[in-house]
C-alpha cells in the first residue's frame, strides 16, 4: 500500500519535528518537513505530496506565496492549516482532509 505523502511547513523546528513524528506514527502516512519557503517549494516540486499542512507562525506573505506556489504546481493539492492542539486533533484534521479527496 502506497503511503500518503504529507508536507509539513512551519517555523518552529521542535514543533515541526513533533508534528512529523506524529504523522509518521500512522503507517499509512509519510511526513516530510520544511522550515523555509524555499525549502517547502523545492520539496513540493520534487515529490508527489497529497497534502500540505501549514503550521502556525507562518507570516501572511509567506502563506500566500506558499499557497500560490503549491497550487500553481498542483491545482488539486489539499492545503490545511494546523495551529496545534495535540495528536488527536492533528489526526482528525488530516483524516477529514483526506476523506474529502476520495
pLDDT tens digits for 84-97? 766 678 888 999 89
Distance between CA atoms of residues 57 and 31, nearest Å? 19
- Quick one: pLDDT band at residue 101, thresholds 50, 70, 90? low
pTM here? 0.92
pLDDT in tens, 18-69: 999 999 999 999 999 999 999 999 999 999 999 999 998 899 999 999 999 9
pLDDT at position 83 = 74
pLDDT at position 86 = 66
**Where do the structural domains in the chain lie, given as residue ranges?**
18-86
* Buried b / exposed e along 32-68 (16+ C-beta atoms within 10 A): bbbbebeebbebbeeeebbbbbbbeebeeebeeebee
Amino acid at each position: 500500500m502506497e503511503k500518503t505523502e504529507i508536507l509539513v511547513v512551519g517555523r518552529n523546528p521542535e514543533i515541526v519535528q513533533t508534528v512529523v513524528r506524529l504523522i509518521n506514527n500512522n503507517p499509512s502516512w509519510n511526513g516530510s518537513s520544511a522550515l523555509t519557503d524555499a525549502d517547502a517549494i523545492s520539496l513540493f516540486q520534487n515529490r508527489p505530496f497529497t497534502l500540505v499542512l501549514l503550521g502556525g507562525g507562518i507570516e501572511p506573505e509567506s502563506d500566500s506565496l506558499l499557497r500560490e506556489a503549491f497550487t500553481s504546481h498542483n491545482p488539486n493539492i489539499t492545503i490545511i492549516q494546523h495551529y496545534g492542539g495535540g495528536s488527536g486533533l492533528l489526526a482528525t484534521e488530516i483524516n477529514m482532509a483526506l476523506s474529502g479527496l476520495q
